[in-house]
Chains A and B, each alone.
Chain A
Amino acid sequence: MYSMPGNQDERLDALFRVYREACPAPEPSANFMPELWRRIEARQAFGFSFRRIANAFVTAALAFSLALGIYMAIPQSNSSYYAQSYIEALAAENTLDTPEIVEPVRLEIAPDSAR
């Protein structure tokens, strides 16, 4: 191990100082800038395709919502079924000419049984 002169802290400071000199910055390779731009463009392309997919999805969702809205807004052929209320529907089913429901109940008491 590298031996450090002086007290502990001074030795450590000295070691860090010489370490900086012992670790000079490497020269960048000739490929540094082209490779950097390749990575930038690759990420941009990924971001672009992701955005395109997201846009397509949003457009499809909007189109579907619109189509569903239009479908719901168009009056259906059997809409008369829903044109009356529940009470009206009941009344229509049980008209006044059905006496068993509308007619009052008549109690006929036989004269003999009264005695």
Chain B
Amino acid sequence: MLVDFELIKRAQAGDGAAFNEIVLAYRKRILGTITRLIARTEDVEDVAQDVFLRMYFSLDQLRTAEVFETWLYRLTVNAAYDYLRKQRRRQEFRMSDLSEQQVLLADAVAGGKVERDQQYQKRIRESVDSLLGAVSEADRILLMLKEVEGLSLKELEKIYEVNENALKVRLFRARQRVLKASEEMKRGREPAKAG
């Protein structure tokens, strides 16, 4: 926990300063999670603010301060879902972004402005974003939370409110789809969207 229970209780009681402290403590983490969940850097801050907005208006629904982090993750996942739902043309956006990024990258390489590790990181981001484009938004978020954010199955159980076995099955299937997409990409084919 990045904050103590007392601070959460004060924020629940309507203390604006306590709420501010909580936001300041968690905003970097939430920004990082959202960056990986939505893969649209320009909208990350807007979605993060939406998470804290939801937190402000539903803090009184939090039964115990002990489950605060799990609850905040749930708000984050819900905000990311809502954002992705609004982006109906997400796939098209991503493809256009990719080509735009590639053009920028090529320009930068030609001009010698981008360092090698930045290019490497960009290549990884593009690879993972392309692979995760092969699975549904729900599976993408689940995989991100488990594999990238490093949440345990117990934590995911609380966030999704489903049992561990169901989560394992979903994760297994999502991984299989990603691996299949990876194979298809290696063969030079556009992976089919599934799940």
Contacts and interface: CB of A to CB of B under 8 A. Distances in A.
A1 interface: yes
A15 B143 CA distance: 12
A16 interface: yes
30 contacts: A1-B127, A1-B186, A11-B182, A12-B178, A12-B179, A15-B127, A16-B148, A19-B36, A19-B148, A20-B149, A22-B122, A22-B124, A22-B125, A23-B32, A23-B35, A23-B148, A24-B32, A25-B33, A26-B31, A26-B32, A28-B28, A28-B31, A28-B45, A32-B27, A33-B20, A33-B24, A35-B49, A36-B52, A36-B53, A40-B53
Contact of A2 (B20, B32, B123): B123
A24 B52 CA distance: 20
B53 A20 contact: no
A88 B125 CA distance: 95
A93 interface: no
Interface residues of B, number: 40
A12 B23 CA distance: 33
* A: contact size bracket: 20 to 34
B41 interface: yes
B44 A20 contact: no
A2 B27 contact: no
Interface string B115-134: 00000111111011011000
Instruction: Identify the 9 closest CB pairs spanning chains A and B, nearest first.
Output: A25-B32, A22-B121, A16-B147, A2-B127, A22-B124, A19-B128, A25-B31, A36-B49, A20-B148
Contacts, number: 88
Chain A contact residues, majority secondary structure: helix
Given A1-B123, A19-B124, A19-B148, 14 more contacts: A1-B130, A1-B186, A2-B124, A12-B175, A12-B179, A19-B36, A19-B125, A22-B122, A22-B124, A23-B148, A24-B32, A25-B31, A32-B49, A40-B53
Interface string B10-38: 00000000001001100111011101100
Interface in B101-154: 120-125, 127-128, 130-131, 143, 147-149
